Amino acid sequence: MIRKGTTLNIVRIGNDITYSSLKTIGERIIDAFNGIIAGYELAHHETPFVESIDAQLLTMILQQEIGGHTLGITDADLKTGDRDEFYQTIFGGKNPKNDVAVVSTRKLAPKQITTTREYELFLDRTIKVSLHEVGHNLGLTDHAVYRAAPDGTLCPMSRGEYNKFGTAGYVRAIIDGRGLMFCDECTHFLQQVYGVRFRAKRCVNGPRGRLEDRNHLSGC
């Protein structure tokens, strides 16, 4: 579990998302966690194009090369060693041995992105999965039930039953249903552990992150 005031490293792995979008993701994460995360730094991991990568291996690489509180965002499928074919690729994951989480955008995009609205949907889904994984870094756990936040949206930590909907159905029912506010249980946990008081209404302030062009990794 990370300490209050830690900077989040957001690492782009691949090229399907813009730096301006990464900044938007960083802002939403900082706002959602209300002062627990001090800021963010952006980096790009230059890697050959791959269709998929082992999720745990990717977290280990990011831990070795970057370390600290890190969120990797890749356009490749994240593979697991699960015997159930349904769980052999995941939207995101967190390594329990470190503070590195990863998110795959592969299944979050609409069938095609030709309009601003379609890209905004893609970005919104990426933000929600990122919030879920960063929540794990901060010690939050999954909700198997569909727990609502005060604004009526699903808590970002809602996981639901993946097999019930299938991949596309899960995205629409769970990920699209999540909001940017946490349920009372998650809020209480964050308040107790990190000593913060959450605002009743969230707003997005000006830039708090710093763009940094660093090639931390040369390839997977």
Read off the pLDDT of residues 53-70 as tens digits, 9 standing for 90 and up.
999 999 999 999 999 999
Reply yes or no on whether the pLDDT at 174 is more than 80. Answer: yes
pTM as predicted: 0.86
The total of other beta-carbon atoms located within 10 Å of residue 194's CB is: 19
Pick from 24, 12, 1, 13: nearest CA to 124: 24
Question: Does residue 52 sit in helix, strand or coil?
Answer: strand
Question: Does residue 109 sit in helix, strand or coil?
Answer: coil
Q: Taking all residues of the chain, what is their mean pLDDT, rounded to a whole number?
A: 85
| Residue that the structure tokens 């060693």 belong to | 81
Per-residue pLDDT at 86: 62
Q: What average pLDDT score do residues 2-21 get?
A: 89
Q: What average pLDDT score do residues 30-34 get?
A: 92
Q: Is the separation of the CB atoms in 55 and 90 below 8 Å?
A: yes
Higher pLDDT, 205 or 26: 26
Strand 6-13 to 77-79 pairing: unpaired
Reply yes or no on whether the pLDDT at 132 is more than 60. Answer: yes
Q: What average pLDDT score do residues 8-31 get?
A: 93
Q: What angle do CA 35, 124, 43 make, to 5 degrees?
A: 65
> What is the spatial distance between Cα 195 and Cα 160, in angstroms, rounded to a whole number?
29
Phi, psi dihedrals of residue 117, rounded to the nearest 5°: -60, -40
pLDDT bin (cut points 50, 70, 90) of residue 213 is very low
Strand 89-90 to 77-79 pairing: antiparallel
Per-residue pLDDT at 152: 93
Q: What average pLDDT score do residues 132-161 get?
A: 92
> What is the spatial distance between Cα 16 and Cα 132, in angstroms, rounded to a whole number?
21
Under CATH, which number does the domain 8-196 receive?
3.40.390.10
pLDDT bin (cut points 50, 70, 90) of residue 199 is low
Q: Is the separation of the CB atoms in 33 and 8 below 8 Å?
A: no
Beta strands in the chain (DSSP E): 6-13, 37-45, 52-54, 70-74, 77-79, 89-90, 92-94, 100-104, 210-215
Per-residue pLDDT at 214: 31
pLDDT bin (cut points 50, 70, 90) of residue 82 is confident
Reply yes or no on whether the pLDDT at 209 is more than 50. Answer: no
Question: What whole-number percentage of the chain has pLDDT above 90?
Answer: 63
Phi-psi region at 152: left, alpha or beta (left = phi > 0; alpha = psi -120 to 50): left
Could you tell me the residue ranges of all domains in the chain? 8-196
